[in-house]
Amino acid sequence: MIAASGLALALGAAPTLGAEWEYGVELYALAADVKATLAKVFDKAIHSDKVTTALSNTLKAKPYNLGPDGTFKMLSDGVKDIKTVIDAGK
């Protein structure tokens, strides 16, 4: 999730660099086998003992994996939610 959210936002260290969709880059247009391999690797990492322990010790949370499509939906929905809050504050 950190990787996905980090790619979806402009870097704080480079404020003139916009988010990837401003440049028309489609990060989710991966070959099916590459996407499947990455999904397996991320799932293994998400459920590793180190991640489980870190989440438990810091956030009192358990790891869960939404998969590529679920993560994309969550991040997309989050952008809409944040925009709604910002617009409401204007």
pTM of the model: 0.49
Note down the domain range covering 56.
2-88
Average pLDDT over every residue of 63-83:
87
If one counts every other C-beta atom within 10 angstroms of the C-beta of residue 79, the result is 13
- Say yes or no to pLDDT of 40 above 50: yes
Distance of CA 9 to the CA centre of its chain: 10
* Domain count along the chain: 1
Task: Using the CB atoms, write b or e for 62-77: b if 16+ within 10 Å.
Answer: ebeeeebeebeeebee
10/52: higher pLDDT: 52
Rounded to 10 degrees, the C-alpha dihedral 23/25/27/32 comes to 170
pLDDT at 28: 59
Distance CA 12, CA 37 (A): 30
Looking only at Cα atoms, what is the longest distance across the chain?
45
47-70 pLDDT, tens digit each:
999 999 998 888 888 888 998 889
